Amino acid sequence: MNKKDGNFDHMAEDYDEKATQIWKHQIHVVKAMEQRFSSSHSSSPSNTNQQTLLELGCGTGNICLPLAKHLKHVYGVDISANMLSKAQEKIQRSSISNASVQHMDLTTSQQLIDCGFPEQYDWIMCCMTLHHLQDPMGKLELLKELLKPRGTLVIVEFGSNTSTGSAHSHAHHGHAHQHHHTQLSQQDREQGRHSDHRSSSNHGEDSHHDHAHAHAHSHHNPNDGESAKDATSHSNTKNEYKEKYGIFSDGFSSETLQQAFRKLGLSHCDVHELPSPEGLDEAHPFYGFPVMILFASSS
């Protein structure tokens, strides 16, 4: 795979440096998980040190590996061999005996069984991954299948920037980043529709837009004869997104994620909001967007 296929091999070498300088949410996610473990321990007879965790898109292990000390075993999967190489170095360097990572584009539970991983887990994490996927709801359905009864699904994603009225919308194998009161040009729609982008990795996009984002920032004169045509095209495009991506066609807001959880039978959800990652260029598609941590369970 190359980076246009959604593989983050090209980012592996300096990803941890970027995580420290920009993607600081990872530190907050680890702390939030540790607080959750503490709360779970006090309210349940089962100790977390007897529980397992699977992280989809674990990358270099910045989240799952620090959590290993609290759990029986942590497992990580990612489609980037280079990212996993960094994670494996950390496992060996720190002598973490209860952590395993595997190169995998996870699509079935049988893949986990075939590589010696458990079929179900007490905790499943998906961090900054859904917005890269062609079928985010399908992936959530798979993760729900891999979750033990009374287990917890943890989703970390960019939320809608309600202060600016922005919405992040998918395009086929890519993303079209829209602002309300603007129209998508035909060129933007074609770029989004034909961009080749698929991933099961948790890494947010870099500031160079390697992931084929199309942006629409044009404002049309309402008296322009083309406005009605453009508005119709915009509506048709939105309908295409809706048909392909369902509830996620307008992005990953807290409301759409909770709606997805309800469809999965996860009735209980806690939402924690973090600040927007620091150090993003203003032209970045997610500049100014907050980061959400959602804990979903059936209890």
Rounded-to-integer distance, Cα 8 and Cα 121, Å? 26
Q: Which of 199, 218, 225 is nearest to 210 (CA)?
A: 199
Q: How far apart are CA 68 and CA 91, in angstroms?
A: 10
Q: Is 275 helix (H, G, I), strand (E, B) or coil?
A: coil
Read off the pLDDT of residues 249-284 as tens digits, 9 standing for 90 and up.
Answer: 778 889 999 999 999 999 899 999 887 777 778 888
CA distances 159 to 117, 218, 226, 245, 254, Å, are: 32, 23, 33, 16, 7
CATH classification code of 3-161+250-297: 3.40.50.150
CB 257 within 8 A of CB 134: no
Query: What is the spatial distance between Cα 205 and Cα 132, in angstroms, rounded to a whole number?
Result: 9
pLDDT of residue 238: 53
To the nearest 10°, report the CA torsion of 22, 285, 254, 143.
-80
Predicted model pTM: 0.73
With contact defined as beta carbons under 8 Å apart, do 82 and 72 qualify? no
Q: Length of the chain in residues, anyone?
A: 299
User: Could you read off the pLDDT of 50-109 as tens digits, one per residue?
Assistant: 999 999 999 999 999 999 999 999 999 999 999 999 999 999 999 999 999 999 999 999
Closest CA to 157 of 291, 286, 270: 291
Residue 158 CA to residue 290 CA, distance in Å, equals 6
Where residue 244 falls among pLDDT bands split at 50, 70, 90? low
pLDDT at 10: 77
Task: Name which of 250, 255, 271 is nearest 165 in CA terms.
Answer: 250
Tell me the β-bridge partners of 294: 155, 271
> What is the rounded distance in angstroms from the CA atom of residue 153 to the CA atom of residue 266?
9
Residues of the chain with CATH 3.40.50.150: 3-161+250-297
Contact 103, 81 (CB under 8 A): yes
pLDDT band at 21; cut points 50, 70, 90: low
Looking at every residue in the chain, the average pLDDT score rounds to: 75
Indicate the helix (H) or strand (E) that contains 140: helix 136-146
- E strand or H helix that includes residue 73: strand 73-78
How many whole angstroms separate alpha carbon 59 and alpha carbon 127?
10
pLDDT tens-digit map of 104-155: 999 999 999 999 999 999 999 999 889 888 899 999 999 999 999 999 999 9
